[in-house]
Structure 1
Amino acid sequence: MAPRPEPVRVADRAAADRLIADTLAQMRELAGILDRESAHVRAGRLRDGLAEEERKAALAAAYMQGLETVKANAVALARLCPGGVADLREAHRRFAAAVESNQMVLATARSVSESLMKSLSADLARASQPQGYGGQRPAASPYGAVRATPLVLSRSL
Protein backbone atom coordinates (compact mmCIF):
# COMPACT_ATOMS: atom_id res chain seq x y z
CA MET A 1 0.00 0.00 0.00
CA ALA A 2 1.41 3.37 -1.01
CA PRO A 3 1.75 5.97 1.75
CA ARG A 4 -0.83 8.73 1.68
CA PRO A 5 0.56 12.09 0.71
CA GLU A 6 0.63 14.76 3.36
CA PRO A 7 -2.53 16.88 3.28
CA VAL A 8 -2.09 20.27 1.67
CA ARG A 9 -2.37 23.16 4.10
CA VAL A 10 -3.25 26.55 2.64
CA ALA A 11 -1.27 29.26 4.39
CA ASP A 12 -1.27 32.16 1.93
CA ARG A 13 -3.23 33.71 -0.92
CA ALA A 14 -1.06 32.09 -3.63
CA ALA A 15 -1.66 28.58 -2.23
CA ALA A 16 -5.41 29.27 -1.98
CA ASP A 17 -5.55 30.52 -5.57
CA ARG A 18 -3.54 27.50 -6.78
CA LEU A 19 -5.79 25.01 -4.96
CA ILE A 20 -8.95 26.60 -6.34
CA ALA A 21 -7.50 26.83 -9.87
CA ASP A 22 -6.37 23.19 -9.81
CA THR A 23 -9.77 22.01 -8.56
CA LEU A 24 -11.59 24.07 -11.19
CA ALA A 25 -9.30 22.71 -13.94
CA GLN A 26 -9.96 19.10 -12.88
CA MET A 27 -13.67 19.80 -12.75
CA ARG A 28 -13.68 21.33 -16.25
CA GLU A 29 -11.69 18.47 -17.75
CA LEU A 30 -13.89 15.85 -16.08
CA ALA A 31 -17.04 17.67 -17.25
CA GLY A 32 -15.65 17.67 -20.79
CA ILE A 33 -15.11 13.91 -20.67
CA LEU A 34 -18.65 13.39 -19.33
CA ASP A 35 -20.09 15.59 -22.09
CA ARG A 36 -18.21 13.65 -24.79
CA GLU A 37 -19.24 10.34 -23.25
CA SER A 38 -22.89 11.41 -23.15
CA ALA A 39 -22.80 12.60 -26.76
CA HIS A 40 -21.31 9.31 -27.96
CA VAL A 41 -23.79 7.20 -25.97
CA ARG A 42 -26.75 9.27 -27.22
CA ALA A 43 -25.56 8.64 -30.79
CA GLY A 44 -25.22 4.91 -30.13
CA ARG A 45 -21.40 4.91 -30.28
CA LEU A 46 -20.87 3.05 -27.00
CA ARG A 47 -17.29 2.02 -27.74
CA ASP A 48 -16.34 5.65 -28.41
CA GLY A 49 -18.21 6.74 -25.29
CA LEU A 50 -16.19 4.38 -23.12
CA ALA A 51 -12.84 5.20 -24.76
CA GLU A 52 -11.82 7.67 -22.05
CA GLU A 53 -12.86 5.50 -19.11
CA GLU A 54 -9.35 5.26 -17.61
CA ARG A 55 -8.76 9.00 -17.89
CA LYS A 56 -12.21 9.66 -16.40
CA ALA A 57 -11.47 7.41 -13.42
CA ALA A 58 -8.11 9.07 -12.80
CA LEU A 59 -9.63 12.56 -13.04
CA ALA A 60 -12.52 11.60 -10.77
CA ALA A 61 -10.08 10.32 -8.14
CA ALA A 62 -7.97 13.49 -8.40
CA TYR A 63 -11.11 15.63 -8.21
CA MET A 64 -12.36 13.84 -5.10
CA GLN A 65 -8.93 14.25 -3.48
CA GLY A 66 -9.02 17.94 -4.42
CA LEU A 67 -12.44 18.32 -2.84
CA GLU A 68 -11.17 16.73 0.37
CA THR A 69 -8.30 19.23 0.37
CA VAL A 70 -10.73 22.10 -0.23
CA LYS A 71 -12.92 20.90 2.65
CA ALA A 72 -9.91 20.56 4.96
CA ASN A 73 -8.90 24.15 4.12
CA ALA A 74 -12.39 25.69 3.95
CA VAL A 75 -11.76 28.29 6.65
CA ALA A 76 -8.45 29.43 5.15
CA LEU A 77 -9.92 29.55 1.64
CA ALA A 78 -12.90 31.61 2.79
CA ARG A 79 -10.56 34.04 4.54
CA LEU A 80 -7.87 34.28 1.86
CA CYS A 81 -9.90 33.93 -1.34
CA PRO A 82 -13.66 34.44 -0.86
CA GLY A 83 -14.24 35.17 -4.56
CA GLY A 84 -12.52 31.93 -5.52
CA VAL A 85 -14.71 29.99 -3.12
CA ALA A 86 -17.82 31.52 -4.73
CA ASP A 87 -16.47 30.58 -8.17
CA LEU A 88 -15.80 27.05 -6.94
CA ARG A 89 -19.33 26.70 -5.57
CA GLU A 90 -20.88 27.89 -8.85
CA ALA A 91 -18.64 25.61 -10.91
CA HIS A 92 -19.50 22.68 -8.65
CA ARG A 93 -23.22 23.37 -9.12
CA ARG A 94 -22.78 23.27 -12.92
CA PHE A 95 -20.61 20.17 -12.64
CA ALA A 96 -23.26 18.39 -10.55
CA ALA A 97 -25.81 19.12 -13.29
CA ALA A 98 -23.42 17.69 -15.92
CA VAL A 99 -22.93 14.54 -13.81
CA GLU A 100 -26.69 14.16 -13.40
CA SER A 101 -27.23 14.53 -17.14
CA ASN A 102 -24.53 11.95 -17.85
CA GLN A 103 -26.09 9.53 -15.36
CA MET A 104 -29.49 9.91 -17.02
CA VAL A 105 -27.99 9.19 -20.46
CA LEU A 106 -26.21 6.10 -19.14
CA ALA A 107 -29.34 4.88 -17.33
CA THR A 108 -31.39 5.32 -20.51
CA ALA A 109 -28.82 3.40 -22.55
CA ARG A 110 -28.80 0.61 -19.95
CA SER A 111 -32.59 0.46 -19.92
CA VAL A 112 -32.79 0.34 -23.72
CA SER A 113 -30.17 -2.41 -23.96
CA GLU A 114 -31.91 -4.47 -21.25
CA SER A 115 -35.21 -4.07 -23.07
CA LEU A 116 -33.62 -5.17 -26.33
CA MET A 117 -32.05 -8.22 -24.69
CA LYS A 118 -35.34 -9.24 -23.06
CA SER A 119 -37.18 -8.82 -26.35
CA LEU A 120 -34.55 -10.83 -28.21
CA SER A 121 -34.64 -13.56 -25.59
CA ALA A 122 -38.45 -13.75 -25.78
CA ASP A 123 -38.31 -13.96 -29.58
CA LEU A 124 -35.75 -16.76 -29.42
CA ALA A 125 -37.79 -18.66 -26.85
CA ARG A 126 -40.93 -18.25 -28.95
CA ALA A 127 -39.14 -19.47 -32.07
CA SER A 128 -37.86 -22.59 -30.27
CA GLN A 129 -41.35 -23.76 -29.26
CA PRO A 130 -43.09 -26.12 -31.63
CA GLN A 131 -45.92 -24.60 -33.64
CA GLY A 132 -49.21 -26.38 -33.92
CA TYR A 133 -52.92 -25.92 -34.02
CA GLY A 134 -54.86 -24.59 -31.05
CA GLY A 135 -53.52 -22.57 -28.15
CA GLN A 136 -49.83 -22.10 -27.66
CA ARG A 137 -48.77 -24.60 -25.05
CA PRO A 138 -45.37 -25.99 -24.37
CA ALA A 139 -44.96 -29.45 -25.80
CA ALA A 140 -44.95 -32.30 -23.32
CA SER A 141 -41.44 -33.48 -22.61
CA PRO A 142 -40.45 -36.86 -21.23
CA TYR A 143 -37.78 -35.06 -19.20
CA GLY A 144 -40.10 -32.67 -17.37
CA ALA A 145 -40.28 -28.96 -18.05
CA VAL A 146 -38.64 -27.81 -21.25
CA ARG A 147 -35.86 -25.38 -20.51
CA ALA A 148 -35.07 -22.49 -22.77
CA THR A 149 -31.74 -22.51 -24.52
CA PRO A 150 -29.32 -19.89 -23.26
CA LEU A 151 -28.93 -16.61 -25.07
CA VAL A 152 -25.37 -16.06 -26.31
CA LEU A 153 -24.05 -12.53 -26.65
CA SER A 154 -21.02 -11.57 -28.70
CA ARG A 155 -19.13 -8.61 -27.21
CA SER A 156 -16.98 -8.25 -30.31
CA LEU A 157 -19.72 -6.71 -32.47
Structure 2
Amino acid sequence: MWADETIAKPAARVATREGALALVAEVDGVMAELGKVLEVETARVRAGQIREGLAEEERKSALASRYIQGLEALKTNAVALARLAPEALERLKQRHEGFAQTLETNRIVLATARAVSEQLVRTLSAELDSGSRPSGYAPSGYGQAPRPAAGSALVVSKTL
Protein backbone atom coordinates (compact mmCIF):
# COMPACT_ATOMS: atom_id res chain seq x y z
CA MET A 1 0.00 0.00 0.00
CA TRP A 2 1.30 3.46 -0.88
CA ALA A 3 1.71 6.07 1.82
CA ASP A 4 -0.75 8.50 0.23
CA GLU A 5 -3.53 5.98 -0.29
CA THR A 6 -6.48 5.94 2.03
CA ILE A 7 -8.50 2.90 2.89
CA ALA A 8 -12.00 3.28 1.51
CA LYS A 9 -14.75 2.53 3.96
CA PRO A 10 -17.24 -0.08 2.85
CA ALA A 11 -20.48 1.31 1.42
CA ALA A 12 -23.40 1.41 3.82
CA ARG A 13 -26.30 -0.87 3.04
CA VAL A 14 -29.50 0.83 1.94
CA ALA A 15 -32.58 -0.45 3.74
CA THR A 16 -35.19 2.28 3.21
CA ARG A 17 -36.55 4.29 0.32
CA GLU A 18 -35.19 7.48 1.92
CA GLY A 19 -31.74 5.92 2.16
CA ALA A 20 -31.92 4.84 -1.48
CA LEU A 21 -33.01 8.30 -2.63
CA ALA A 22 -30.28 9.92 -0.54
CA LEU A 23 -27.58 7.68 -2.05
CA VAL A 24 -28.77 8.36 -5.60
CA ALA A 25 -28.97 12.10 -4.89
CA GLU A 26 -25.46 12.14 -3.43
CA VAL A 27 -23.95 10.36 -6.43
CA ASP A 28 -25.95 12.58 -8.80
CA GLY A 29 -24.68 15.71 -7.04
CA VAL A 30 -21.05 14.61 -7.17
CA MET A 31 -21.44 13.64 -10.83
CA ALA A 32 -22.97 17.04 -11.66
CA GLU A 33 -20.21 18.91 -9.84
CA LEU A 34 -17.49 16.83 -11.51
CA GLY A 35 -19.17 17.41 -14.88
CA LYS A 36 -19.02 21.18 -14.36
CA VAL A 37 -15.32 21.01 -13.49
CA LEU A 38 -14.66 18.90 -16.60
CA GLU A 39 -16.62 21.29 -18.82
CA VAL A 40 -14.65 24.31 -17.56
CA GLU A 41 -11.37 22.43 -18.00
CA THR A 42 -12.34 21.37 -21.51
CA ALA A 43 -13.34 24.90 -22.53
CA ARG A 44 -10.13 26.41 -21.18
CA VAL A 45 -7.84 23.82 -22.77
CA ARG A 46 -9.66 24.21 -26.10
CA ALA A 47 -9.02 27.96 -25.87
CA GLY A 48 -5.31 27.30 -25.31
CA GLN A 49 -5.40 28.26 -21.63
CA ILE A 50 -3.66 25.09 -20.49
CA ARG A 51 -2.49 26.34 -17.10
CA GLU A 52 -5.91 27.78 -16.24
CA GLY A 53 -7.61 24.65 -17.53
CA LEU A 54 -5.59 22.38 -15.29
CA ALA A 55 -5.76 24.69 -12.24
CA GLU A 56 -8.53 22.69 -10.57
CA GLU A 57 -6.72 19.35 -10.78
CA GLU A 58 -6.89 18.70 -7.03
CA ARG A 59 -10.61 19.44 -6.90
CA LYS A 60 -11.21 17.27 -9.95
CA SER A 61 -9.24 14.43 -8.37
CA ALA A 62 -11.18 14.68 -5.10
CA LEU A 63 -14.51 14.73 -6.94
CA ALA A 64 -13.48 11.78 -9.10
CA SER A 65 -12.58 9.83 -5.97
CA ARG A 66 -15.95 10.63 -4.39
CA TYR A 67 -17.67 9.68 -7.64
CA ILE A 68 -15.93 6.28 -7.77
CA GLN A 69 -16.85 5.64 -4.14
CA GLY A 70 -20.44 6.54 -4.97
CA LEU A 71 -20.45 4.11 -7.89
CA GLU A 72 -19.16 1.39 -5.59
CA ALA A 73 -21.98 2.16 -3.15
CA LEU A 74 -24.49 1.97 -6.01
CA LYS A 75 -23.10 -1.41 -7.08
CA THR A 76 -23.19 -2.70 -3.52
CA ASN A 77 -26.84 -1.65 -3.18
CA ALA A 78 -28.01 -2.37 -6.74
CA VAL A 79 -30.76 -4.79 -5.76
CA ALA A 80 -32.11 -2.55 -2.98
CA LEU A 81 -31.99 0.53 -5.22
CA ALA A 82 -33.87 -1.23 -8.01
CA ARG A 83 -36.53 -2.29 -5.52
CA LEU A 84 -36.78 0.89 -3.40
CA ALA A 85 -36.14 3.73 -5.88
CA PRO A 86 -36.30 2.48 -9.48
CA GLU A 87 -37.34 5.86 -10.94
CA ALA A 88 -34.48 7.71 -9.24
CA LEU A 89 -32.03 5.06 -10.42
CA GLU A 90 -33.32 5.39 -13.99
CA ARG A 91 -32.91 9.19 -13.90
CA LEU A 92 -29.36 8.72 -12.62
CA LYS A 93 -28.58 6.33 -15.48
CA GLN A 94 -29.86 8.90 -18.00
CA ARG A 95 -27.79 11.68 -16.44
CA HIS A 96 -24.80 9.37 -16.41
CA GLU A 97 -25.00 9.04 -20.20
CA GLY A 98 -24.61 12.82 -20.53
CA PHE A 99 -21.78 12.76 -18.01
CA ALA A 100 -20.04 10.02 -19.99
CA GLN A 101 -20.16 12.24 -23.09
CA THR A 102 -18.68 15.16 -21.12
CA LEU A 103 -15.94 12.88 -19.84
CA GLU A 104 -15.14 11.55 -23.31
CA THR A 105 -14.99 15.07 -24.77
CA ASN A 106 -12.64 16.11 -21.97
CA ARG A 107 -10.42 13.09 -22.58
CA ILE A 108 -10.21 13.83 -26.32
CA VAL A 109 -9.40 17.51 -25.76
CA LEU A 110 -6.67 16.69 -23.24
CA ALA A 111 -5.19 14.02 -25.53
CA THR A 112 -5.19 16.48 -28.43
CA ALA A 113 -3.52 19.19 -26.35
CA ARG A 114 -0.86 16.72 -25.27
CA ALA A 115 -0.21 15.57 -28.84
CA VAL A 116 0.05 19.16 -30.07
CA SER A 117 2.44 20.06 -27.27
CA GLU A 118 4.63 17.05 -27.97
CA GLN A 119 4.69 17.88 -31.69
CA LEU A 120 5.66 21.49 -30.97
CA VAL A 121 8.59 20.36 -28.82
CA ARG A 122 9.70 17.85 -31.47
CA THR A 123 9.49 20.46 -34.23
CA LEU A 124 11.39 23.01 -32.18
CA SER A 125 14.06 20.46 -31.30
CA ALA A 126 14.43 19.42 -34.94
CA GLU A 127 14.79 23.03 -36.05
CA LEU A 128 17.43 23.73 -33.43
CA ASP A 129 19.26 20.53 -34.28
CA SER A 130 19.22 21.16 -38.04
CA GLY A 131 21.74 23.96 -37.67
CA SER A 132 24.30 21.66 -36.06
CA ARG A 133 24.29 19.13 -38.90
CA PRO A 134 26.27 19.59 -42.09
CA SER A 135 24.21 21.06 -44.88
CA GLY A 136 26.45 20.00 -47.74
CA TYR A 137 29.64 18.20 -48.66
CA ALA A 138 33.21 19.44 -48.54
CA PRO A 139 35.60 18.92 -51.43
CA SER A 140 36.90 15.76 -49.74
CA GLY A 141 33.40 14.20 -49.97
CA TYR A 142 32.61 14.36 -46.27
CA GLY A 143 30.16 16.69 -44.64
CA GLN A 144 31.29 20.10 -43.59
CA ALA A 145 32.25 20.49 -39.98
CA PRO A 146 29.41 21.86 -37.84
CA ARG A 147 29.52 25.53 -37.09
CA PRO A 148 30.41 26.14 -33.44
CA ALA A 149 27.63 28.71 -32.87
CA ALA A 150 24.93 26.41 -34.24
CA GLY A 151 24.90 24.03 -31.25
CA SER A 152 22.88 26.27 -28.92
CA ALA A 153 20.88 24.80 -26.08
CA LEU A 154 17.10 24.69 -25.87
CA VAL A 155 15.81 26.67 -22.89
CA VAL A 156 12.20 26.36 -21.75
CA SER A 157 10.71 28.77 -19.25
CA LYS A 158 7.93 27.33 -17.07
CA THR A 159 7.11 30.73 -15.58
CA LEU A 160 5.39 32.21 -18.62
Same fold (TM over 0.5): yes
1:153 counterpart residue number: 156
% same residue: 49
State which of 68, 71, 79 in structure 2 corresponds to 1:67: 71
> Does residue 1:39 correspond to 2:43, yes or no?
yes
Instruction: Quote the Cα distance in structure 2 between the aligned partners of 1:138 and 1:62.
Output: 61
Partner SS state of residue 131, structure 2: helix
Q: Cα distance 1:2–1:43, how it changes in 2: closer, same or farther (>3 A)?
A: closer
> Does residue 1:82 correspond to 2:86, yes or no?
yes
> Does residue 1:125 correspond to 2:129, yes or no?
yes
Instruction: Quote the Cα distance in structure 1 between the aligned partners of 2:22 and 2:135.
Output: 72
Q: Aligned-pair distance for 1:7? A: 2.2
Q: Which amino acid aligns with 1:32?
A: K
> Is the contact between residue 40 and residue 53 of structure 2 (CA under 8 Å) also seen in structure 1?
yes
Structure 1 gap ranges (5+): 142-147
Q: List, as ranges, runs of 4+ consecutive aligned residues in structure 1 with deviation greater than 2 Å.
A: 1-7, 127-134, 137-141, 148-154
**What's the RMSD between the two structures over aligned residues?**
2.2
State which of 92, 96, 101 in structure 1 corresponds to 2:96: 92
1:9 counterpart residue number: 13
